[in-house]
Chain A
């Protein structure tokens, strides 16, 4: 296990973009958890004296380094608090939709026939609804609590996992080592647990990491439209929405949270790309080669 961690960290160093993305996300997580308590002037209550204070003015205190919004609240700490909510929602949605979607997809792909028909038609049904419209309708009717937002977003993301899991299972099911396990008398549960799931897991994880970005953007859209998280809750989408009216006068209100969304989504995508290469033994030599070239240049022997 130790050897594998070392190998993975070296492969991370081999890809500049993935490494940057990784560092950014680590800093973000750290900041979201501990940040507000470490930064002076983190009090996010209203402070009308500081209304629309511009950024980069050190005399206002570190908390105001990114400026303040229309109610005088400092932007940097709000971004960090907002990170908690945004990430909590996005991660929950991804984990839940991956769990449910993959299970349904595996059942559809492995058992086929009636299960396949029912599950796939259900997935088609959900997918053919414009997801944002669905979210709008549901949240309008059910009141926009965080819990409901998570449920709605989860439902709209499930079909993707169903399709991917089903397609992968259909292919893996045909492979000889699965036939071999069957011919030995293995139960379906054993085959699914030991032979099929470990093979399809990397693909599902790659899809999940890509989907994280999509979910964040979807949540931000909902907040922007006013049917996501409500104040006093903070999410990046809400912050962008609040700054709508001041785009020409106080650009920093929308800019920083918008940049946060962009950078986080970008990092998730870059890391997902890197993960895809790492998990496929046929491709991972590309990252290993760079590592060994550096080692040989340093005079180390294999």
Chain B
């Protein structure tokens, strides 16, 4: 899965300078005393049938990016353009129509399905909300979706708790497919599954992409899954993208110190692998309420310089869609 991207049919999502901050209230009259910049100037695009992964650790804002694109929360800055239409400031009512293009699969298969609805009702719900087909055809469509995700048709009348974790995730995927979207956002969609089941679901996602031309925004903390599944990778730290490139480049030639550290410490299933050159970062991710001045990563960076404290590093372009935000990198392509 290391092929580089060719623009097939154009961009279906373009996010520019996306910003999402949460105000913190305090004091006697509960005025705003601070902000959590969960997402602080994030820009990227996704093309048809492409998988972009956003990878990062806790507090980096990757989940918030997903939820903001889905308009589950209203962005406080920046623009989101979906299928050529600016959806950033649409009202909830106007947004309804556009929701058919982007669907989401959530992390927890145990709470993302209504415990009182049968599997058939869960998968059919998007169709019933948008009334895309007459009620008589819904059953047949749901059955074909069940086939597509590898679930037995007999399961349509069962309740969510009668399925295993992996099967529930398949139900969630079937539901996401119901309206034939262009893009599916997977928010840690396989993180809660056992390894053997995770592999099944990953294969399913890849097959669906080849079959239906789906694009994925894959949000995760697991680098091994990223390498397997994605065309391009964006690495986030404290609300910003610190590096973005196609998969092969990210793993063979990472430029940002954080990316390098992340790749070097990922657990490898090989006891004889060379672990002597690991970069084990000190400390932990700082609080997003009061991030360090200048470059947010400087408190843990093994190659920190004086300028890192004073100035925020601009994004440098390194050619072929590879960008990184670090003072140590010299522009190769202006």
Asked whether the complex places CB atoms of A and B closer than 8 A, the reply is yes
**What is the interface of chain A, defined by CB distance below 8 A to chain B?**
175-177, 179-187, 190, 194-195, 198-199, 281
A179 neighbours in B (Cβ, 8 Å)? 72, 106
Given contacts A180-B106, A183-B104, 12 further A-B pairs with CB under 8 A are A176-B112, A177-B114, A183-B70, A183-B71, A183-B72, A185-B95, A185-B100, A185-B130, A187-B129, A190-B129, A194-B114, A194-B117
Are A180 and B104 touching (Cβ within 8 A)?
Answer: yes
Given contacts A182-B72, A185-B130, A190-B129, contact A177 B104 (CB under 8 A): no
B126 in the interface (beta carbon within 8 A): yes
Cα distance, A175 to B104, chains bound together (Å): 15
- A181 engages B116 (CB within 8 Å): no
- The one of A176, A184, A199 in contact with B99, judged by C-beta atoms closer than 8 angstroms, is A184
Q: Are B125 and A184 in contact (CB under 8 A)?
A: yes
Measured between beta carbons, the chain B residues less than 8 angstroms from A181 are 114, 125
B58 interface residue (CB < 8 Å to A):
no
Q: Which residues of B sit under 8 angstroms from A195, Cβ to Cβ?
A: 114
B99 touches A185 (CB 8 A): yes
A94 to B308, CA, bound (A): 67
A177 to B, closest residue via Cβ: B114
Q: Which residues of A contact B114 (CB under 8 A)?
A: 177, 181, 194-195
Residues of B within 8 Å of A, CB-based: how many?
A: 26
> Is A176 a contact of B111 with CB atoms below 8 Å?
yes
Chain A's nearest CB lies how many Å from the CB of B297?
31
Q: Which chain A residue shows the least CB distance to B108?
A: A176
- B115 in contact (CB, < 8 A): yes
The reply to whether B129 and A185 form a contact with Cβ atoms under 8 Å apart is yes
Q: Which of B103, B106, B116, B175 contacts A176 (CB 8 A)?
A: B106
Which residues of chain B in 95-152 are interfacial with respect to chain A, using CB atoms and an 8 Å cutoff? 95-96, 99-100, 103-104, 106-108, 111-117, 125-126, 129-130
Q: Complex Cα distance A183/B116, Å? A: 19
Q: How far is the CB of B242 from chain A (nearest CB, A)?
A: 28
The chain B residue with its CB closest to the CB of A174 is B111
Identify the interface centre among A176, A179, A187, A194: most chain B CB within 10 Å of its CB: A176
Q: Is the interface of A mostly helix, strand, loop or mixed?
A: helix
Taking the complex as formed, is B85 at the interface, i.e. its CB lies under 8 A from any CB of chain A? no
**Is B25 interfacial (CB-CB < 8 Å)?**
no
* Chain B residues within an 8 Å CB radius of A176: 106-108, 111-112
Is the Cβ of A186 less than 8 Å from the Cβ of B113?
Answer: no
How far apart are the CA atoms of A182 and B116 in the complex, in Å? 17
B71 neighbours in A (Cβ, 8 Å): 183
Q: How distant is the Cα of A180 from the Cα of B70 in the complex, in angstroms?
A: 10
Tell me if B161 is interfacial: C-beta within 8 Å of chain A: yes
Question: In the bound complex, do residue A184 and residue B111 qualify as a contact, i.e. CB atoms below 8 Å apart?
Answer: no
Report the minimum CB–CB distance from B99 to chain A (whole Å).
4
| Cross-chain contact A183 with B99 (CB below 8 angstroms) | yes
**B99 proximity list for chain A (CB < 8 A):** 183-185
Residue contact A180 to B112, C-beta cutoff 8 Å: yes
A187: chain B residues within 8 A (beta carbon): 129
Q: Complex: how many Å from CA A180 to CA B108?
A: 12
Output the nearest chain A residue to B185 by Cβ-Cβ distance.
A183
Other-chain contact of A177, B72, B96, B111 (Cβ < 8 Å): B111
In the docked arrangement, what's the CA distance between A175 and B175, Å? Answer: 17
Residue of A nearest to B172 (CB): A180
Say which residue of B103, B113, B161 sits within 8 Å of A184 (CB atoms): B103
C-alpha gap A185/B108 in the complex (Å)? 20
Q: How distant is the Cα of A91 from the Cα of B53 in the complex, in angstroms?
A: 58
- Chain B nearest CB from A188 CB (Å) reads 9
A180–B111 CA distance with the chains assembled, in angstroms? 10
Q: Say how far B64's CB is from chain A's closest CB, in angstroms.
A: 13
Question: What are the residues of chain A within 8 A of B125 when measuring CB–CB?
Answer: 181, 184, 186
A83 to B: closest C-beta gap in Å: 36
From the candidates A184, A185, A199, name the one contacting B116 in the complex (CB within 8 A).
A199
| Bound CA–CA A190/B130 (angstroms) | 12
Looking at the assembled complex, report how far the CB atom of A192 sits from the nearest CB atom of chain B, in whole angstroms.
Answer: 13
Report how far A259 CA is from B107 CA in the complex, Å.
55
| CB pair A184 B129 closer than 8 Å | yes
**Min CB–CB distance B97 → chain A (angstroms):** 8
What are 5 A-B pairs at a CB distance below 8 A? A175-B111, A179-B106, A183-B72, A185-B99, A185-B130
Closest beta carbon of chain B to A102's beta carbon, Å: 17
Q: Which residues of B contact A199 (CB under 8 A)?
A: 115-116
Q: Is the CB of B161 within 8 A of A186?
A: no
| Segment 242-256 of B: residues with Cβ below 8 Å from A | none
| CA A176 to CA B161, docked complex, whole Å | 15
Q: How far is the CB of B34 from chain A (nearest CB, A)?
A: 22
- Complex CA gap A161/B36 in Å reads 36
Chain B 53-107 interface residues, beta-carbon cutoff 8 Å to A = 70-72, 95-96, 99-100, 103-104, 106-107
Assembly CA distance A134 to B127 (angstroms): 51
